[in-house]
Amino acid sequence: MPTELINKVIYGDQILIDLTDATITGSAEANKILSGYTAYGADGSKVTGTSTFDVDSSSATATQAEVLSGKTFAKGGSVLTGTMANLGGAGGTITAKAQEVTVAQGYHDGSGKVKIDTTEQAKIVANNIKEGVSILGVTGTYTGSERIKATTGSTTPYTTAQTILPSSLGDYDYFTQFSVDAIYYNEASNSAGGLTVTIGSVAPSV
């Protein structure tokens, strides 16, 4: 006959030991006791725990979308796998004043950067910005006269209209002085005994 275990001891009118109301019934429920600890079941047997339970996860608040994809966590007594995208060093570049870079939802490893495109950076220099104006930390020095080039000119009035631009004389923006010669006038005797008066020159052929 199998040995029966004592699970209750009464001495006189005193109950010295009573395991009958233990919540562990016996060795079959060893997984309900933390590994390395022992207890006695309701049937009087000694039970050595086998549970590897190490935390009460009932108060955990993380969701799968908040945990990196492929990583696991405990919640409510269950082991769950995260679904958060791993974006690593995601970043972006800005090429227009009003451009916005949307940072996608997910995990970032801290190396990602959002910066002004290098082509645009090269334009943000002091001599491209009006004097006294600061753009992104660069204070302008441009006064409006640095690249304006002047020249002088002159012309002879002809009997036809003329349009003369500074640029027609080279890489110039304006005239500091422009001279117009006096209208040509000439008198010469002719074979009929009178005078031939010539007023104005004829533009030379091009």
Spatial neighbors of 13 by CB under 8 A, at least 6 apart, are none
User: Which pTM value belongs to this model?
Assistant: 0.43
Q: What is the per-residue pLDDT for 66?
A: 94
Give pLDDT tens digits for 49-67.
998 877 788 889 999 999 9
Is residue 165 predicted with pLDDT exceeding 50?
A: yes
CA 110 to CA 91: how far, in whole Å? Answer: 10
Give pLDDT tens digits for 150-163.
999 999 999 899 99
Q: What is the per-residue pLDDT for 2?
A: 55
Torsion of CA 43, 49, 52, 54, to 10 degrees: 90
Q: What percent of the chain has pLDDT over 90?
A: 58
CA 65 to CA 191: how far, in whole Å? Answer: 110
Q: What is the per-residue pLDDT for 179?
A: 95
Give pLDDT tens digits for 60-108.
999 999 999 999 999 987 899 999 999 999 999 999 989 999 988 999 9
Q: What is the per-residue pLDDT for 55?
A: 78
